[in-house]
Amino acid sequence: MQDRVAEIRAFNRFYTGVIGLLQGNMHDTPYSLTEARVLFELGTRGRAEAAELRRLLGLDAGYLSRILTRFESEGLVAKERSAADARRQVITLTAAGREMFGVLDRRSVTQIAELLAKVPEDDQDRLVAAMRTIQRVLGDTGRPAVPYVIRPPRAGDLGWVVHRHGALYAREYGWGREFEALVARIVADYVANLDPARESAWIAEVDGEPVGCVFCVRKDDETAQLRLLLVDPAARGMGIGARLVDECLRFAREAGYKRIMLWTRDALASARKIYLAAGFELVEEYPGEEAGKPVVEQIYEREV
């Protein structure tokens, strides 16, 4: 936790410098970041109640009142009482306010465009995806679910499957290189022996980045095997794991298999809930070992 706090603080110091927040005023105007945000919200909404602005921006009532009083004295906003409730104050931008909003908006666009122009296109995509991840992780949990895509693997995805399994399970369970090597062999065997009529794989993607995977491979003529189900922690809670399992079951059914099985470990409680909800039943378990630690190996099955 201490290391993560330090990393976030370091990023905050870095990024505030990159976008010039330490200079005091925004985009060569006489307005601070907070004042510019108030203008931005009024410019994009057209009009807003003072209480709504206060809640939206998390501002102290007295602080917002001083900002609005300054804007009114400079001819940027007009105040009026709400027709529905005279106790409420409605704020709108004047023509001068809309002009200042336009200046701030254009200069902000130019600043970001100039920043991106210095970055290779692939890195631009990575940067934007990382920022979307920050918004998704730290954002309002009451927002609508982030859309995701389930698609076939593309170039680079199979390497991601191996890397993400190795990194994630090492961090969460202490499983080492032997486990990562096992995942690499499973992926290599899938590529080497692929029968598209009876085997397939899927990648879950959010904002252009892979966040999950699952494989359906041949166990024998009548049995399919679900392998390598994974959902990145940043994308958990979105229903992606259940959707990936559904894709596997659908494919196994259409490919003519009579049953489907999977191998897992009892430590993977979240995955087990998905399997049980999908109708899998535990048929076998036995002791095992991973990275010198005891584990319980489990086999689940169900008809397709």
Q: Which residues of 2-17 are buried (b: 16+ CB within 10 A; e: fewer)?
A: eeeeeeeeeeeeeeee
Token digits of residue 185 = 């062999």
User: 250-290: per-residue pLDDT in tens?
Assistant: 999 999 999 999 999 999 999 999 999 999 999 999 999 99
Quick one: fold of 2-118?
Arc Repressor Mutant, subunit A (1.10.10)
Identify the CA nearest to 111 among candidates 188, 187, 184, 28.
28
**Strands (DSSP E) found in 14-151:** 47-49, 77-81, 89-93, 149-151
Which top CATH class is 149-303? alpha beta
Q: Collect the ranges in the chain with pLDDT lower than 50.
A: 141-144
Please state at what angle helix 269-277 crosses helix 240-254, rounded to 10 degrees.
Answer: 50
| Interatomic CA distance for residues 50 and 55, integer angstroms | 9
Q: Give residue 108's pLDDT.
A: 85
Cβ within 8 Å of residue 117, ≥6 positions away: none
Three-class SS state of 241? helix
Q: Give residue 302's pLDDT.
A: 96
Q: Give residue 136's pLDDT.
A: 72
Tell me which residue has tokens 């992780």. 137
| Interatomic CA distance for residues 284 and 298, integer angstroms | 6
Q: Give residue 238's pLDDT.
A: 84
Three-class SS state of 78? strand
Q: Give residue 203's pLDDT.
A: 97
Cβ within 8 Å of residue 68, ≥6 positions away: 38, 50, 77, 79, 91
Q: Are 300 and 281 contacting, i.e. CB atoms less than 8 angstroms apart?
A: yes
> What count of other Cβ atoms lies within 10 Å of the Cβ of residue 83?
8
| Interatomic CA distance for residues 134 and 279, integer angstroms | 35
Q: Give residue 43's pLDDT.
A: 85
Identify the CA nearest to 49 among candidates 79, 71, 72, 75.
79
Q: Could you state, in order of their start, the residue ranges of all structural domains in the chain? A: 2-118, 149-303
Q: Give residue 143's pLDDT.
A: 47
Helix %, strand %, coil % of the chain (to 5): 50, 25, 25
DSSP, residue by residue, 103-126: HHHHHHHHHHHHHHHTS-HHHHHH
Do 2-118 and 149-303 show the same overall fold? no
Token digits of residue 298 = 């489990």
pTM equals: 0.58
